[in-house]
Amino acid sequence: MLRSFHLTVFQNSYIHKVNRHTEITTMCLREVFIPFVYFVYVLGATEKDKVIQDVDYSGLAGEAELNKNDILNFLNSTRVREMYKMQYERLLASLVDVETRRIVAGRNTSIASVPWQVSLREKTYPICGGSIVTDLWILTAAHCLLRARSSDLSVRLGSSWKTFGGEMYDVRECFVHPRYVSKTKVNDVGLVELYSPLRFSPRVLPIRMVARDVRLPSQQPAIVSGWGKLKASGASATFLQSSTIHTIAMKLCKRSGLDRKAIDPASMFCAGSFSQNSPDACQGDSGGPIVREGVLIGVVSWGLGCARGNFPGVYTRLAYPVIWDWVMGHITRTDKSDKASL
């Protein structure tokens, strides 16, 4: 069954382009009528098709902008951590309240509910997701950065739509973890440095990275988001999707249909379902965030198919010291000589 709806972009809507040549070029859009058609996997329009938009980070946006020069300490303060956790729990409640069938198996979600989410693009084509960690740094997967030149990359953020709206930022440089192994996806993490610092807002906010060497408990809910395929070999989402999944004990992950030798317990963890179909990330979600209790715990890395029973998704473990030290070593330094030594 097909359902269509229409989006009106009003006269006072704006798209911002920020690049190495200009600070901000603003283009005002006229009112336009844009048809958008997608498959509905339930009978008729229900609560499942509504956009989740009751999460509000506006109280943090102004503070984050004021604390931009000390953003990591700001994010790590107890009060701010509790505020992020509270908003995360509101989103989690919205996701688990309804049985859904989209990211694969996610729900339409406003970018204001996951304002750290970005779309990484190569020559305007979306290739991966990513997460804002400071005003100049985007965290993503190493495998997203292997083939592209920095000059061909850009980042779209602040929009729920994959191909329009929000702001576009050019990339100054990208970095792949020096111990990344493409064949096995060990240490699958990369960093993107922007030309211009971000302006934080309720739709553009950084997220705190998990603490170093913290143990990740199993069977805990987490939220994954992105614009990847809605099903294996299917179409990609045009509107941002998010879903709740559960972390899986490593011993169970190794017993799943995944190749046991492919799982590196130090740099990876599994989430999804061990025994049955469940929500999952899919192609195009790579590099995007998986968040638990308002903290970025991992990066979408790899899997076999999408949302298949006995094949949980595999994520980069950001708490792993080899990964954590490398990431923090970059995002806490601004001097080029310091970065060159990493």
Sequence-distant (≥ 6) Cβ neighbours of residue 26 within 8 angstroms: 14, 15, 16
Nearest CA to 61 among 30, 41, 38, 87?
Answer: 87
Nearest CA to 85 among 55, 123, 48?
Answer: 55
| Residues carrying an active site annotation | 143, 188, 286
Rounded to whole angstroms, how far apart are CA atoms 154 and 106? 26
| Residue 43 exposed, middle or buried by CB count within 10 Å (0-12, 13-18, 19+) | exposed
Helix pair 78-96, 58-66: axis angle to 10 deg: 150
Pair 312, 301: CB distance under 8 Å? no
Taking each continuous run of H as one helix and of E as one strand, the counts in the chain are 6, 17
Q: Is 13 helix (H, G, I), strand (E, B) or coil?
A: coil
Residue 88 phi/psi, 5° resolution?
-60, -45
